Amino acid sequence: MSFVVPKESFNGKVLAVDFGKDDKALIVGGESCMPFLSFEGETPNRPVIAHEIQDCSPDDWPDTVKEAYKDVSSDPVAWASHCQDKLNAKAIALRLVSTHPDRIDRSAEDAAKLIKDVLAAINVPLIILGSNHIEKDSTVLVAAAEAASGHNCIIGKAQEGNYKTIVAAALAHNHKLIAMSELDINLAKQLNILITQMGFDKQKLITDPMCSALGYGLEYTYSVMERIRLAGLAQNDQTMQPPILGDVGMYVWKIKETVAGEADVPEWGTLAERGIAWETVTATSMVLSGSNLLIMRHPSAIQNVEKTIDELTSS
């Protein structure tokens, strides 16, 4: 008797969310099975990796990743164009870190102007991220949503403390929205419920259950993402069916393994390789646990993960 692969099929399905415009628009999600198990269901859209840039020089990034963008990173518009034209980025994630009160405290108006400039320079889809300051984000992201009106961007992150204004802005300007909660599946569900109760279409939502780097709680993120997927698929929980975001780069490029010099820890090997490997492994784990959209920093790490996705999706 020949071996028959046991198959599991589900009633639920991950929602397919599109972002961007025209022929550069992308769709994430839409699968009816666990990641890459295409023999059990449909997997219509491969995970998307967005290249992360920010609105000021990345002085806080470690050398390995700073080096990769040294010629363009002083100008966000040039940086965005470089990612699109030279690195073939399919999507770009612009993080408005300089709006944070502890950084430059740049105004919402300045952020809005920059977004218009970046959008004029690129045609791939744009993800607009705040500085992760609850109060400031609720003014910055409102201005950002307006500035990007008509571009079908993803904006975020809406959190428990500021979701109302950000949801209203995404609704008014027809953007997709990232809802972020802090590594707690029940809170992730609750936030999705609250956002949809405001009249925001669940088909426009992306869940960020909060990422983490390998060695720094990755297993918690992995487990929460996997459980979100299973709730959406196996229990057909409508609130747990939006695509999942893995915001990888910002968690990886600050830990000591991506920063510590070779002289200090010679047994850890080459610093550059180490950092790239760390981001690669972290991001690969995220797509395996259910991430549909990744935000990453190093071009080589992005290439590595794209290659892995190629291999996992080729039949």
Contacting residues toward another protein, per CB under 8 A: 185-187, 189-190, 193-194, 197, 227, 231, 235, 237-240
Contact call for residues 246 and 279 (beta carbons, < 8 A): no
Number of neighbours of residue 150 by Cβ within 10 angstroms: 10
Contact call for residues 258 and 275 (beta carbons, < 8 A): yes
Q: Which is nearer to another protein, 53 or 210 (CB)?
A: 210
The C-alpha atoms of residue 52 and residue 67 are separated, in whole angstroms, by 14
Q: Which is nearer to another protein, 179 or 294 (CB)?
A: 179
Q: How far is the CB of 198 from another protein (least distance, A)?
A: 12
Q: How far is the CB of 189 from another protein (least distance, A)?
A: 4
Find the Cα–Cα–Cα–Cα dihedral 59, 64, 68, 74, rounded to 10°. Answer: 10
Q: How far is the CB of 44 from another protein (least distance, A)?
A: 23
164: left (phi over 0), alpha (psi -120 to 50) or beta: alpha
Q: How far is the CB of 218 from another protein (least distance, A)?
A: 22
The C-alpha atoms of residue 229 and residue 195 are separated, in whole angstroms, by 19
Q: Which is nearer to another protein, 185 or 205 (CB)?
A: 185
Q: Looking at 88-200, list the stretches that DSSP marks H as alpha helix, in order from N- to C-terminal side.
A: 108-121, 134-147, 163-172, 185-197
Q: Which is nearer to another protein, 57 or 238 (CB)?
A: 238
Q: How far is the CB of 290 from another protein (least distance, A)?
A: 15
Q: Which is nearer to another protein, 66 or 189 (CB)?
A: 189
* Three-state DSSP class for residue 82: helix
